[in-house]
Structure 1
Amino acid sequence: MYGFHALADVPPQLLLSQMNDPRVAEHLPLLRGAFDHAALERFLDGKAARWKGDGLGHWAIWHEGKFLGWGGFEKDGDVWDFGLVLVPEAFGHGGAIARQMVAFAQKDKRIDTIQFLLAPTRRSVKALERMGAVETEKARHDGQTFRRFLLNVS
């Protein structure tokens, strides 16, 4: 079982290290340039605003006392967008974390459909297909194209 906690409680150096790791940045086309203290502050403020506006957002993910990354749900139109960004040492945990979060979504009456947007660098979609997610049209955000999958959880 993974623990989900407030992003603001993560020691800043852990998030700075994660977001500046080229293995992480490779799959984050919206991340441009160095992720410095000012970028971290904007990131945390933005995530806090989503919690306030949507009533749901991204958590810090911990397992056995180790920070594995962050992820969760943000409202995007009529669907809830699922995001998951792990530290490289935790890349193998993605499927299990996603399943735990989808189980959370299935119990949350606000969530009918989950959207997964994958960067073109993400080749394997087997885990999404096993969950029942279906690829739809591509999505564009901030000039970048993503593969889009939808999962009905209601």
Structure 2
Amino acid sequence: MIETISFARLSEVNPAEIAAHMSDPRVAQHMPLLKGRWDVTAAQNFVDKKQAIWARDGLGHWAFLQDGRYIGWGGFQKEDNEWDFGLVLRPDAFGLGKHIVKKAIDFAISDSRIPFITFLLPPSRTNLGALLRLGAVQTGKIDYEGEPFLKFRLETKSNQ
């Protein structure tokens, strides 16, 4: 059931689960920045970096759980003065993205630090209907770490 989705800290997930998730070629298909081999050490380094972002900004990426089972990761990361939202699900949880995004947007609406959310999507993501139905507007194209991305913005506060 959808109601069983919860957000936890990435440090609560076994790094081997994250490594297996990020090693799946179906995950890499739309992640141009995903380079190299993911093993337990790489996963632990990733978790450590994400924990440092939490310490720096007071917000960051979560582990997404369904019935306590790890199904992916994502959340908000501050990029300059913008809060960018990312979502990376295990292939067996791809259909849960809509529900996770809604829960995350509800969080952003209630958090005074987040007047709007940005989304960076690789050009390989051609099905943008769900994002547009949420009210996100494409603001352009950007280069991020040498890769092209489509940039979208979703207002979370009225009169912004």
So what's the TM-score if we normalise by structure 1? 0.96
Alpha-carbon distance in structure 2 between the residues aligned to 1:140 and 1:127: 23
> What residue is the counterpart of 2:65 in the other structure?
62
The offset of 1:38, in angstroms, is 2.8
Q: Map 1:99-118; keep pairs closer than 5 Å.
A: 99-118=102-121
Percent identity between the aligned chains?
47
Distance 2:131 2:74 in 1: 16
* Equivalent position amino acid for 1:55 in 2: G
What residue in structure 2 maps to residue 97 of structure 1?
A: 100
Confirm or deny that 1:73 pairs with 2:76: yes
TM-score, length-scaled by structure 2:
0.93
Which structure 1 residue ranges, 4+ long, deviate > 2 Å from structure 2?
none
* Residue 46 (structure 2) pairs with residue 43 (structure 1): yes
Q: Any residues of structure 2 matched to 1:1-154 within 5 Å, and which?
A: 1=3, 2-154=5-157
**SS at 1:5 equivalent:** strand
**Alignment partners' CA distance in 1, 2:15 and 2:49:** 15
Aligned equivalents of 2:42 and 2:22: distance in 1?
A: 10
Q: Distance in 2 between matches of 1:78 and 1:112?
A: 11
Aligned residues: 154
- CA deviations 1:51-80 (Å, max 9, x no partner) are 011110011111123211011101112210
What amino acid is aligned across from residue 47 of structure 2 in structure 1?
L
